[in-house]
Structure 1
Amino acid sequence: MPKKLLLSIILTLIVLNIVTLLLWKKSDNVALDDLEKTINRKDPVAVVGKKKVTYEDWMETLRDRYGKAELEEMINQSVVRQLAKENKIKVDKKVIEFELANIMTTQGVLTKEEMKAAEEKWRKNITHRYKQEALLTKDIRVTEEEVEAYYEEYANQYSFSESVQISHITVDGMETAEKVMEELNQGASFPLLALEYSSDEATRQNGGYMGYLDISSDHLLPSYKEAIINMEENTHSSPVKLGDEAAIIYLHRHLPEIKFTYEEIKPYIQNELALKKKGQTLDAGILWNELEIDWIYE
């Protein structure tokens, strides 16, 4: 056999072995969570003393406990998506933003990555819920008078006030405030500095966290409102004078005001009233008979 041909065959076999090894290793890696962390299915997922918990044991337990329920929920999601498309049902972006704003005010401080992942999940859930509600009530009649009466009584439920999520550090005088500012500008942690310096006992132990506040609330000082107007999210203010004291504010999140006209919110009130009239919960299983469904449990 010619030497060049032999070398060519050897090189080809080496390349094939490397590619096979890479593909084999890649196939053994599985995603663990939304943050793209992976694990190797051949490695134990836990070691308790001398006992190893294998990936297969873990998966089998998950299938036994949650397999049917999770698959059922996946089918529900698919049913709603397909039927909503067939019936040309869409959810107004303003309604989604309104629901998102209300959810956010129940949350604590999240990192940018956590907020992005959570917001994506919330959007999907909100959209699914409203589409499902519209599908379940599309054949139920609700009169204009019923909608108007409900709107007049509960109109305040369909508005969201401009709100801010903030933390603060209050100190005795501008001199100390400037010292805190210097440490912040050098990369020090705002919550840790609040724990060290803040004179506000109500928030100090929580890193100065004040939560979400309505921009028009009396709990938000006029000087705070003035400072927040020109701030970007995830930034801190310059020292704000408070009589003999001074404060530094951290703006986590700024949520704008959302208001609906009667015509904008009317379709959603109709669906809500229709669901009550039917005495029905949001059960997508009722919609299964509108599509051909074949699944492993039935």
Structure 2
Amino acid sequence: MNSKTQWGIIGFLVLLNCLTVAYFLTNSQGSVKQVATNAVLDSVTEESVGKIGDTVITRQQWLIELENRYGKQTLEDMINEKVIKQMADKYDIQISKEAIDREVTMIKSMYNPLDHEEINDEQWREQIEMSLLLEELVTKDAVISDEELQQFFEKNKDLYDIPTTYHLSHIVVKDQEEANQVIKELENGSSFSALAMERSLDVFSANQGGELGFVSEESGYVPEQYIEIASELDVDKWSEPIKVEEGYAIINLKEVIQGVTYGFDEVKDQIRRQIAIDQVQGALSTQSFWEEAGVSWFYGKE
């Protein structure tokens, strides 16, 4: 495994850990507020939310069960988000749009939705900003020489050389006649994702609507002609039938990330964080800032 792949995996796993936390932060807040509101409104009622024969599950029973299962973790996630923002303001830590753009580009170039849940761009940017703020907070006291930063950059320079990358999905069918039929259905307004789930022979991607993720010439897990044809497609367009080993394929281009090579000055802060994080024992955590932020909560002290 080359150094680019190794560091790419390491960097992605570190950030994915933060993204996972941030993902639950993003998706839990609205539901928690609604649950809390409903709990107040329905505290004196016995509204039914489910019935099995003569057995009724009331809204109050349901809300109590939700709190027992998810309440503590959801509240902790909400607190962590507030703590990160408060501590970032205290230490005047900000993440530039350019830094977020760069992280988005680098992560997408390694991202495969077959292994991870697909996230839209707005969610990605919010999660990346939150994770970078946490990284900056955890490593704010780290002192790393310019010489060490430069050495890391030179040793891993290919990590910052991002090839042009295509976000693709595909439909694989047994023969050209069926492929032509698929194209007719697409031209008549059918959903590419729905057709992939219904018709595609590629069982690994069919359940994901034909999703292949972000691929480049270096990816190695899609046919070479996919990249060649994708480079000629417009975004949101599909190809003519392509002869492949399993039969014929139609590919759909969702997004293009233009290739870019980042210089040392552009990634210097990212390298500093990476080296410092490698020196931190254990996973990145917001817990160490709770006391400083004056956190108190329903569940008391750990």
TM-score computed with the length of structure 2 as normaliser? 0.66
Partner residue in 1 for 2:128: 126
Give secondary structure in 1 for the equivalent of 2:156: helix
Per-residue displacement from partner, 1:104-136 (whole Å, max 9, x unpaired)? Answer: 8221499xxx754xx433332221111111112
CA distance in 1, matches of 2:101, 2:73: 29
Aligned to 1:161: 163
What is the CA–CA distance in structure 2 between the aligned matches of 1:76 and 1:178, rounded to whole Å?
52
Contact 1:194 1:204 (8 Å CA) reproduced: no
What is the aligned partner in structure 2 of residue 276 from structure 1? Answer: 278
Q: Does 2:122 correspond to 1:106?
A: no
2:145 maps to amino acid: T
- Residue 250 of structure 1 aligns with which residue? 252
SS of residue paired to 2:141: coil
Offset from partner CA, 1:174-221 (integer Å, 9 cap, x none) = x765444333222345467568877xx556982893713533256444
Equivalent position amino acid for 1:137 in 2: T
2:213 corresponding residue in structure 1: 212
Closer, same or farther in 2 for the Cα pair 1:227/1:147, shift >3 Å? closer
Q: CA deviation at 1:54?
A: 1.9
Aligned-residue offset at 1:78: 0.8
The answer (yes or no) to whether the contact 2:49–2:58 under 8 Å persists in 1 is: yes
1:71 to 69, 75, 82: 75
- Following the alignment from structure 1 to structure 2, what is the Cα–Cα distance between the partners of residues 287 and 256? 39
Give, in whole Å, the separation in 2 of the partners of 1:170 and 1:89: 52
Instruction: Provide the C-alpha distance between the structure 1 equivalents of 2:197 and 2:78, rounded to a whole number of angstroms.
Output: 45
How far 1:238 sits from its partner (Å)?
Answer: 4.1
Q: 1:202 to 1:148 in 2, by over 3 A?
A: same
Identify the range of structure 1 (219-228 vs 59-68) with the bigger mean alpha-carbon deviation.
Answer: 219-228
The structure having more radius of gyration, on CA atoms, is: 1
Matched, 1:48 2:48: no
Instruction: Indicate the residue corresponding to 1:151 in structure 2.
Output: 153
Q: Paired residue for 2:95?
A: 91
The residue aligned with 1:230 is 233
SS across alignment from 1:254: strand
> What is the CA-CA distance between 1:97 and the residue it aligns to?
3.7
**Deviation (angstroms), 1:265:** 1.2
Residue 169 of structure 2: SS of its match in structure 1?
Answer: strand
Say whether the 8 Å CA contact 1:44–1:53 is kept in structure 2. Answer: yes
* Aligned equivalents of 1:267, 1:69: Cα separation in 2: 32
Please list every run of 5 or more consecutive structure 1 residues that lacks an aligned counterpart in the other structure. Answer: 1-30, 34-38
Give the CA deviation at 1:167.
0.7
**What is the CA-CA distance between 1:137 and the residue it aligns to?**
1.7
Alpha-carbon distance change, 190 to 68 in structure 1, aligned in 2, over 3 angstroms: closer
Q: Which has the higher contact order (CA 8 A, sep 6+)?
A: 2
Aligned-pair identity (%): 27
Aligned AA (1:231): D
The alignment partner of 1:212 has SS state of: strand
How many residues matched?
A: 255
The Cα shift of 1:261 comes to: 1.5
The question of whether the paired residues in 1 share the 8 Å contact of 2:88 and 2:133 is answered with yes
Q: Does structure 1 retain, via aligned residues, the 8 Å contact 2:229–2:239? A: no
Ranges in structure 2 where 5+ consecutive residues have no aligned partner: 1-29, 33-37
The 5 A counterparts of 1:164-179 are 164=166, 165-169=168-172, 172=175, 178-179=180-181
CA contact under 8 A between 1:163 and 1:254: conserved in structure 2?
yes
Pair 1:86–1:192, CA change in 2 (3 A): closer
Deviation of the 1:91 alpha carbon: 2.1
TM-score computed with the length of structure 1 as normaliser: 0.66
Report the residue type matching 2:262 in the other structure. Answer: F
Distance 1:157 1:227 in 2: 24
Taking a change above 3 Å as real, the CA distance of residues 59 and 220 of structure 1, as seen in their structure-2 partners, is: same
Equivalent-residue separation in structure 2 for 1:136 and 1:203 (angstroms): 42
Q: 1:86 to 1:159 in 2, by over 3 A?
A: farther
Cα distance change of structure 1 residues 57 and 203 upon mapping to structure 2, 3 Å threshold: closer
SS of 1:229's partner is coil
Alpha-carbon displacement from aligned partner over 1:215-272 (angstroms, at most 9, x marks no partner): 3256444476245433122x32345689xx9753322333333442111111122122
* C-alpha deviation, 1:294, in angstroms: 3.4
